[in-house]
Amino acid sequence: MLLTSAPTASADYIRDKQWVIDVINFKKVWSESQGEGVTVAVVDTGVDGSHPDLVGQVLKGKDVTGGGENPEDDTDGHGTGMASLIAGHGHGADNSSGVIGLAPKAKILPIKAADRDDFDDDQWAEGVRYAVDQGVDVINLSFGDSLAKPGSEGAKAIEYAQQRDVVVVAGTGNDGNAEVSYPAKLPGVLAVGAVDQSLKIWSNSNYGEGVTLVAPGTNIVRADTNQSNGYAEADGTSDATAYVSATAALVRAKYPDLTAGQVINRLIKSATFLDRDVKKVPDEEYGYGLIRPYSALTMDIPKGPKQGPLAQSSPSTSTNSGAASEGNDSTNQAKEEEKSSSGSIFLIAGIAAVVIIIAVLFAVIRSRRNGRNGGPGPGGGIPPQGTGYPPHSPTGHQPYPNSAPNQGYPTPPGQSAQHPNPYAQQPPHQGQ
């Protein structure tokens, strides 16, 4: 939805329309981190680096659509919008005009993977791999692709990114369906839903198993050089995804020693459900909650395992390397404990069988001595034993917050009375 007053809109008016600035309290967040030294790849329709709010923030990048060398956003404006929400710095006196992003000192690596909204699996997968090879820290995927299921080129490219310690963020989709879209639904991807200005789940935000976090996603003003005044206003999980990617960039800048999984851990542990009556975590609409960038930067949160709290792709579908292979300590330990438990059960079953056989033989001998034909009757043998394996969790996430001991993921701080809820007020909000 374009701004209805686009022909006469002033830059100051654009800044005033950014309600998210007050909700999140950008200035307070920036006292901790602005995303310095971090690069976010925006795999989208390209990025217009000449937009006044993005000048100097956009790296060279790549066009994987075959349309040329430069990833220009000359037909849609969507990618430019995502880049502005992540790393826009505004313009004019003190940069007080135009769009300001949540991580204004992060750099954007533009990857043009589509002209509009028709994302080809092979093309954007190539873009993801290129971005990883350029050393990006975060990849923003503000699109859906129904073909990006496990085993697809897109899925393999995301595994490639995860194995090389890159945070991958994608939107859940804008259909209002009880099904998270791909590639957000893929293992290990930080799947983002959208909330409206009342901070309730947006009616068109896809939900269901796999939602990780939610962020503001309605009435979002963003840069768009395809419009006459250079700006557009829109609703969608795309915008929410950009804000989560920016939050990941802020955390990576402040905590460069954390793995991608541990960055996601901080985002999850610092999130909030506000006053929502959530019965089970992750919730099908809110996931682990609403992002709180300032809390993600300042709360005392244990690093946790290197792999992070989200389920990862099966080793049978990818080659373990880098950070991904290093982060499997807790998984391997669980497997060893599982094998040990199973072995103990079978050992006990074997001893029990021997005892029963001895008892039966004793009864038979005694029966024969007493002149009777004895022995166990029908159905009197050893009952079948269980497998010794715990029941398989139906969700893609590790059990949370009721995790098994030593998982490294306690109940999220910020949900107790010790951490006041920064989103308690209705808009305009005090922020974080």
Residues designated as active site? 44, 78, 238
Distance (Å, whole) CA 111 – CA 120? 13
Distance (Å, whole) CA 394 – CA 120? 30
Structure tokens at 308: 């992070």
Distance (Å, whole) CA 6 – CA 9? 5
Beta bridge partners of 39: 107
Structure tokens at 272: 């909030």
* Angle (nearest 5°) at CA 174 between 117 and 177: 130
Q: How many CB atoms lie within 10 A of CB 249?
A: 33
* Residue 273 · residue 413 · CB < 8 Å: no
